[in-house]
Every structure is written in structure tokens, then in C-alpha cells.
Amino acid sequence: MGERIYIFKRFERFWHWSQALLIMTLLVTGFEVHGSWSIFGFKQAVNIHTIAAWTLVGLWVFAVFWHLTTGEWKQYIPTMQKVDAMLKFYLTGIFTNAPHPFRQTTLSKHNPLQRLAYLFVLIVINPLIWTTGWFYLFYGSWADWGFGWLDLKWVAFFHVVAAFMMLIFFIAHVYLATAGHTVTSHIKAMITGWEDVH
């Protein structure tokens, strides 16, 4: 038996799904620009990629403002408590129907591993992908800004490395979204806001 609690507010759900759509768009068009496949054509892929990137920047500006003004930023403060239990659960427990070691509440939405993963995205993947993407976009201005010594090949390399890191995070995130008490329970919570806690 469990209870139903309201976990994700309307803006969080909008931010989550908009961000997911934009990141998928960036991955598809980015790997096309990189030459991995051809869907839109190079020029159109570059245009879509640039528009999606600026849209995501705008979304993140609103998200940062919302998190700071509502206090929701506290949900992302990392903790090492129960990290080992969460690792054990994700590696073996979900296959043996073990009880979940973390109880979600309105004041504590993310388990310790989620907090660490989101922190890694915020302090490693995002800065790397945005910095290299920004340099890529403004390649013609490097010399004026004093960055004429940069090598485009290395900027491109680290941008692709960050893209693969984001892809790995995205795949893991989608997989772990199915690790609730039912395969769709976490996904439903991100649609409706309500989570059934067992």
C-alpha cells in the first residue's frame, strides 16, 4: 500500500519535456552536422541545431530563475547518504524485486544518485558543451576576442565528447525512468505531477 503525493509542479514538467525535446533535436542535428547520418541536409541541420541551442539557453535562464525564486534548487544539493544502497539497487535490486532504498517526498524528489548525476551534468557536461558550442558558433570572431590560438579541431572534438556524454546520460535517464514500482509510474509522474509512493 502507498500514498499519492504531488511531486512535480507544472513548470517542472514543462521544463523537463521541453528540455528533453530540445536535447533530442540537438543530438539528432548535431550528429548530422558531425557526418554520422543525413536527415535534414547539412545546412538545415546547422540551422535547426543553432535555433534549438538558443531556445534551450532561454529555457535554462527561466529554469534557473524559477529554481532560485522557489527554493527548488535545494533538491539538487548532493549527498553521499545511501549512495551505495542506490548503486546496489540499480545494479541488482531492480532485477530481484528488492525494495527501493529511497522514499521520495515533496521536499526530497531526487535520490542521492540522481542528485550526483544532475550535478555532473550541471558542472561538467553543460559547461563543456555550451562553451565549445559557443566557440563553434562564433568561430569568425576568435581572433578579435584574443582566441586566435585555439584549434577548431580541438573545439569540435570536445564538443562531440560532451555530446556523447549527454547521450549516455539521456539513455541512462530514460532507462532509470522505467525503474519505478511499474515501468511507467515515474513517466506518469512527470506528466501528471503525482507520484504513487510505495
Instruction: Cell numbers for 27, please give them.
Output: 543530438
Q: What is the pLDDT of residue 104?
A: 84
Q: What is the pLDDT of residue 26?
A: 97
Contact criterion met (CB below 8 Å) for 132 and 158: yes
Q: How many domains does the chain have?
A: 1
Q: What is the pLDDT of residue 179?
A: 80
Full domain range(s) for residue 125:
3-197
* Listed residue (101, 90, 73) closest to 173, CA to CA: 90
- Which region, left, alpha or beta, applies to residue 193 given φ > 0 means left and ψ of -120 to 50 means alpha? left
Phi, psi of 30 (to 5 degrees): -65, -45
- The CATH code of the domain that includes 82 is 1.20.950.20
Place of cell 528533453: 20
H-type helices in the chain, by residue range? 10-33, 42-70, 83-91, 112-120, 126-137, 142-145, 152-176, 185-192
* Whole-angstrom distance, CA of residue 186 vs CA of residue 143: 48
Sign for the pseudo-dihedral over CA of 174, 180, 184, 186: negative
Mean pLDDT in order along the chain per 10 residues (198 residues)? 84 96 97 93 97 96 95 90 90 86 86 92 94 93 92 94 96 88 88 86
Q: What is the pLDDT of residue 90?
A: 87
